[in-house]
Structure 1
Amino acid sequence: MAGDGRSPTGRCVVLFPFPSESHTTPMLQLAGLLRARGLGVTVLHADLNAPDPARHPGLAFVSIGESLPDEIASSPDLAERVMSLNAACEAPFQAALEDLVRRGEPVACTVVDGQWYRMLGAARRAGVPALALGADSAAAFLAMLAATRPRADGHAPVQEADRLDEVVPGLEPLRVRDLIGVDGSDDGDTVLRFTASVAGAVRGASLGVVLNTFDAIEGPELAGIRRELSRPVFAVGPLHLAGGPPVEPQQHVLDGGCLEWLDARPPRSVLYVSLGSAARVDRAAFEEMAWGLAGSGVPFLWALCPGSVGGDDDEPPFPEELHETVRRRGKVVAWSPQRAVLAHPAVGGFWTHGGWSSIMEAVCEGVPMLVHPWLADQTGSARCVTRRWGIGLEAGRVVERTAMARAIRRLMVGEHGPQAPRERARLLRMQARECVAEGGPASLAMDGLVEFILGL
């Protein structure tokens, strides 16, 4: 445990992040903002991928002590794994929450990640009001709600293959294929069961929703969620911008010289490449990516996590013919300080998997994107980047070296210059900063969230 979770207000909020980095990070950023506004914060957490309390002074950390069956780790289906995690953690979470209340902790409410749909019901049984934090986009959240309506109310045609390219009414510009899990590797029935479980729990057991987004990029989606739920929706993002500089984990202190390497490059000349920590690229796709980067003629910084290429436990070797090109024009590292990299003046584009945290970080630094979605909500996010905001290109799921080289050159240079998407990206950057400034929409939303919590 780090800190004692106490507060000047005499009230405490209990947070429960989902145990993956892309979900834990925004939850802990929210924790810091709540703490700064006078609330005590206790973070209940799973032992799986547990957060490091030393990085978050002032917060109290309590393990729920879950016991996970072996099949959770071995299941190849992402949605099935998440549902199994929910089943395994529901009772331990409820017991830990009840223990806090029994010990006299002044718990005002709990905020659980939206993936923890079973925890909303567990909190209600424990007698604790609950809110859900959506770590993904408002568009993804609205798509889950809309796709699980009864068909008579406009159920999206998620299982009809001949309608995959239809735009979904009320979710423009998303097509059916852009909805979570559709046209992907996950079993369609499993994904629909998962999204229905999330939507049902939010509708039935949450008092409100907190989202890491802002009106300038997702105003219509936020309005749609408010219509769907008829309860408070707090758009408090961009959380990473409001929360200040990150505290990096100890194992990431060494960044492989990323920033020094960028210092020697001209402004907006480097393509930053990172497909996230969850993507697993097969050997053939990896080599096509490498050849595409080489063929583009563009300098690149590639953050390539160990184990992210199929069949390799260590750093994957490049094809022999590419070693000299990589040495002269590119830099490959196992990890990079992504926020600092995106903020560096030498970075002119970002080849990303389309995870929401990565997109928000790029938006906040005004960096145009080449989006290469792999799973879950990433196809929808790619659609927003390209068709809604006009700040990038979509790479598509099939990796082919010639097409990738062409897309990279188009993003970084363009036939008539990349100024249109770059200018739009700069506008969004300015709007994001205005949003989190004192008196801005995100700041006011945080004030409203704290007032709502204290009123429970």
Structure 2
Amino acid sequence: MEHQNSSTPHVVIIPDPVQGHVTPMFHLAELLCLAKLNVTLLSTTYVHKRLNKSIEARFARYPGFRFEVVSDGLPDDHPRTGSDGCWASIQGFALTAEPFLRGMISIGTSVTCLLVDGWLGFANNLAKEVGIPFIALRCYSAANNWLDIFVLKLIQDERVPFKEEDMDKLVENVPGLDTFLRNRDLPSFCRTKDRATCLGLQQAFADEVQRTSEAYGLILNTFEDLEGPLLSLLRSKCPRVYSIGPLHSHLKHRLDEEKTTLPISSSSLWEVDQSCLSWLDKKPAESVIYVGFGSLTILEKEQILEIWEGLVQSNKYFLWVIRPNLVIGGENGTPTPTALLEGTKERGCIVSWAPQEAVLAHPAVGGFLTHSGWNSTLESITAGVPMLCWPYFADQQVNSRYVGEVWKIGLDMKDKCDRKVVAEMVNDVLDRKKDELKESMARMSEAAKKSVTEGGSSYCNLDRLIQDIKMMSIKGAD
């Protein structure tokens, strides 16, 4: 597909090739397309094969959009889940994407700037080499971006790794976080007991912090009313911070302004089971706990059974997403207890993948048992659904602490996998603490919606980002 013309700014977006990054990147890509920019999105063959085919049809309405793919070097049947699988996919992508991107630029393709995600340092290095501006694009919270700067110091001061008995000790000397963030709330990789691993992390974070400081700006999928204090701190290190989220809600609003009748196509890498919506239609208002642990979480069979037992013992309705590769050793071991199967038949619904935004917007859903991925957190906030957080890895530990301790829009269940705890906390969310959680969530949900409407902070920040990219194009033509 040819781009519109050479005078139109051309942005190349390079996401980490995992679901939690692909989804917001597609939202951003379409927002830039709506602004009449040329956009190339570079991802992997694996991602492209698994995307809902309506995505291609949707983007066909934008003559300036192009999707380029390279291999991540892994076999098609590689699960690409868990921290190891995620990292293997990112590393493989970096190896093949760097020469492809270099070749694209070397043959004279006009590129105004690169929007570079995550740990893809090759793109930053190439941008500096050829003199193209690059903007750092992070798919996690402002709090986690701020914490990245200080993880380096925590390792150097040997406060990471920390001892088991120090899990609930407050993290010191991290401005804005040190009054409530505990060791157990640090990103999961801080829990390593291996000093050598820590030294590797130290170098990785040193590189990441340097790349952010060298970038023209920083794009974040968040909004001012949610993380204003942290965004102010980040601007002391990186003056141009564009908080333009929640991206999924922002895109819907801009499409409404365009008066388009096209629904937003799913960018899910999993086949969505819509039948759960019909199941929800038959349930009372706010009576269902929705359970979804994202695309990368992997659990042991014992963990699944404890959570399952807790859901059944709660005596509440539950809708649970269990991916085919969610469970380690799921095909082996003891059979599922009959009581669980009977309890699920009576009160539960299990699907392999759900249309999450539609589920959270359904009036029957009263709570969300989540892994605390950033996309899920923002989707829950926008829908006004209180959360029960059970984080798995990376930034999710920080997110869950904010949900429970700072924003007061949910409960934090991290590091617990006990059926009695699950049952108790499900009842807290749906009954005992329902009113206070809903009150806090309603205020935050309203703020999220206002941020993406005309005059709102995210709306204005996106306009500023688009104008800055256009100015880059003008300067590049001089």
Give, in angstroms, the shift of residue 150 of structure 1: 9.0
Distance 1:192 1:77, change over 3 A: farther
Structure 2 distance, partners of 1:30, 1:421, is 30
The question of 1:60 aligning with 2:66 is answered yes
TM-score of the superposition, structure 1-length normalised? 0.89
Contact 1:86 1:119 in 2 (8 A): no
Choose which of 306, 312, 317 in structure 2 pairs with 1:299.
317
Structure 2 distance, partners of 1:250, 1:352, is 17
In structure 2, the partner of 1:177 is 184
In structure 2, the partner of 1:158 is 160
| Alignment deviations for residues 191-239 of structure 1 (CA, whole Å, 9 cap, x no partner) | 44433332222223x211100000111111111111123x311001000
In structure 2, the partner of 1:438 is 454
Residue identity opposite 2:140 in structure 1:
D
The question of 1:232 aligning with 2:240 is answered yes
Choose which of 130, 138, 142 in structure 2 pairs with 1:138.
142
Contact 1:176 1:182 in 2 (8 A): no
Residue identity opposite 2:67 in structure 1:
F
In structure 2, the partner of 1:38 is 36
Structure 2 distance, partners of 1:227, 1:397, is 34
The question of 1:385 aligning with 2:393 is answered no
Q: Which protein, 1 or 2, shows the higher relative CO under an 8 Å CA cutoff with sep ≥ 6?
A: 2
Distance 1:225 1:313, change over 3 A: farther
| Alignment deviations for residues 326-359 of structure 1 (CA, whole Å, 9 cap, x no partner) | 1111111111100000000110000000000000
The question of 1:363 aligning with 2:366 is answered no
Say which SS state the counterpart of residue 174 (structure 1) adopts.
coil
Q: Mean alpha-carbon deviation: is it higher for 85-94 or for 33-42? A: 85-94
Give, in angstroms, the shift of residue 13 of structure 1: 0.3
Distance 1:319 1:367, change over 3 A: same
Choose which of 322, 330, 351 in structure 1 pairs with 2:369.
351
Choose which of 207, 211, 217 in structure 1 pairs with 2:220.
211
Contact 1:19 1:50 in 2 (8 A): no
In structure 2, the partner of 1:339 is 357
Choose which of 282, 285, 290 in structure 2 pairs with 1:272.
290
Q: Root-mean-square deviation (CA), in Å?
A: 2.9
Distance 1:385 1:313, change over 3 A: same
Distance 1:360 1:93, change over 3 A: same
Residues 101-120 of structure 1 mapped to structure 2, 5 A cutoff: 101-120=105-124
Give, in angstroms, the shift of residue 256 of structure 1: 4.8
Residue identity opposite 1:11 in structure 2:
P
Contact 1:293 1:300 in 2 (8 A): yes
Give, in angstroms, the shift of residue 9 of structure 1: 5.9
Structure 2 distance, partners of 1:186, 1:261, is 45
Contact 2:290 2:368 in 1 (8 A): yes
Contact 1:27 1:133 in 2 (8 A): no
Sequence identity percentage: 30
Distance 1:225 1:94, change over 3 A: same
| Alignment deviations for residues 219-262 of structure 1 (CA, whole Å, 9 cap, x no partner) | 11111111123x31100100010112531259866525111111
Structure 1 stretches lacking a partner, 5+ long: none
Contact 2:452 2:459 in 1 (8 A): yes
Residue identity opposite 2:447 in structure 1:
Q
Residue identity opposite 2:249 in structure 1:
L
In structure 2, the partner of 1:452 is 468
Residue identity opposite 2:235 in structure 1:
R
Structure 2 distance, partners of 1:6, 1:377, is 38
In structure 2, the partner of 1:123 is 127
Residues 85-96 of structure 1 mapped to structure 2, 5 A cutoff: 88-90=92-94, 92-96=96-100
Choose which of 298, 323, 336 in structure 1 pairs with 2:341.
323
Structure 2 stretches lacking a partner, 5+ long: 253-262, 473-478
Distance 1:337 1:91, change over 3 A: closer
Structure 2 distance, partners of 1:88, 1:251, is 18
Contact 1:86 1:118 in 2 (8 A): no
TM-score of the superposition, structure 2-length normalised? 0.85
Give, in angstroms, the shift of residue 167 of structure 1: 3.4
Residue identity opposite 2:286 in structure 1:
R
Q: How many residues align?
A: 444
Structure 2 distance, partners of 1:249, 1:422, is 29
Residues 377-416 of structure 1 mapped to structure 2, 5 A cutoff: 377-414=395-432
Distance 1:61 1:320, change over 3 A: same
